[in-house]
Structure 1
Amino acid sequence: MTQTQDATRTRTFGWTDPAEHAHLLGRRSGLEILRAMATGELPPPPVMHLIDGEGMQVEEGAVTLTLEPREFHYNPLGSVHGGILSTLLDTAAACSVHSTLPAGVGYTSMDLNVKFLRPATIASGKLTCAGTVLQRGRRTALAEARITDAAGRLIAHATSSCMIFEI
């Protein structure tokens, strides 16, 4: 982000071809793909560039993402927009499901139920969003995700149902 003398703010970003991930779905497990993204072997998906997402930690059934709140995340009230927080929650919850899937099996979010508990701002420090699988069957999975600020305070939490299908 750059700022000029007249207080105009701009932001430019790039991303890699999302097909780079899609072609791996039949060849690598979800855990392998996510770990490759976490280590930098594979680039993050375009949405992470859009929101300026930072790190990722991956274990089977659990994914943690981080985001440093920036001014460009703000809503008109001066706090991080709920859509940004929801994107983090959806990503962490759904990726936790992805981490349990074998090669050739995909997923999609069916719903996301979000509760916002306190505002997040630049002063909140780095946000950590941890997703965990609660239950996984053959066709559906239930996951949750929680966002905490740098002081460990709960900012928002969500539950998500995902549909599981063969690719």
Structure 2
Amino acid sequence: MTQTQDAPASARTRTYSWSDPTEHAALLGRRSGLELLRAMSAGELPPPPIMHLIDAAGMRAEEGSVTLELDPQEFHYNPLGTVHGGVISTLLDTAAACSVHSTLPAGVGYTSMDLNVKFLRAVTVDSGRLTCTGTVLQRGRRTALAEARLTDAAGRLVAHATSSCLLFELPAR
């Protein structure tokens, strides 16, 4: 494949901005996970940069469950003309891990240990708004298990994931 310096006539551009992610990190020891997530949902805190990157449409948080929304766009597409699996996986990982975060007290952090994704149907702009809900299945002292389900505007399941998260105490700030 040969590339030229000139962009094709059908080229599109996209510009976005984000807030300093250290704002969230500085609050981790002072607020519970649910407080942080609700503040982001309410617009009191900016969302993390990844949410701007994928152009997420919204988030709702309650203890043990987080729901994200995304309107599929062309810039999410892979070479086959469908939403890239990485975008879908990002939604699933975020919903599952944030559902774990919603159960954590101030001073406790987490990180994903694994993510097992099952893609069930193709997603395009015609799929309409996607809804991704993560739910904690089990939480212990050191690990948590969560799942996430991604549905299209018609309510059809398009992908499913399970995730294990490692829980740990954050260093004092």
Q: 2:65 aligns with which of 50, 62, 79?
A: 62
The code of the aligned residue for 1:93 comes to A
Rg comparison, structure with higher value: 2
CA shift for structure 1 position 54? 1.2
TM-score w.r.t. length of structure 2: 0.93
State the secondary structure of the residue aligned to 1:9: coil
Give the counterpart of 1:25 among 25, 28, 31: 28
Separation in 1, partners of 2:100, 2:140: 11
Instruction: Tell me how far apart the structure 1 counterparts of residues 39 and 80 of structure 2 sit (CA, whole Å).
Output: 37
Q: CA deviation at 1:68?
A: 0.0
Partners of 1:43 and 1:156 in 2: CA distance:
27
| TM-fit CA distance, 1:5 | 9.0
The within-5 A match list for 1:97-116 is 97-116=100-119
What per-residue deviation string (whole Å, max 9, x for no partner) do you get for residues 26-74 of structure 1? 0000000000000000010000000001110100000000000000000
Aligned residues: 164
Pair 1:122-2:158 in alignment: no
Structure 2 residue 88 is matched with structure 1 residue 89: no
- Could you tell me which amino acid in structure 2 is paired with residue 148 of structure 1? T
Calculate the aligned-residue CA RMSD, in Å.
Answer: 1.1
1:39 aligns with 2:64: no
**Paired residues for 1:151-166 under 5 Å:** 151-166=154-169
Name the residue aligned to 1:136.
Answer: 139
Task: Tell me how far 1:12 sits from its aligned partner.
Answer: 0.9
DSSP 3-state at the match of 2:40: helix
Unmatched tracts of structure 1, length 5 or more: none
TM-score calculated relative to the size of structure 1: 0.97
Percent identical across equivalent pairs? 78
The question of 1:79 aligning with 2:101 is answered no
2:138 is aligned with what amino acid? Q
2:17 maps to what in 1? 14
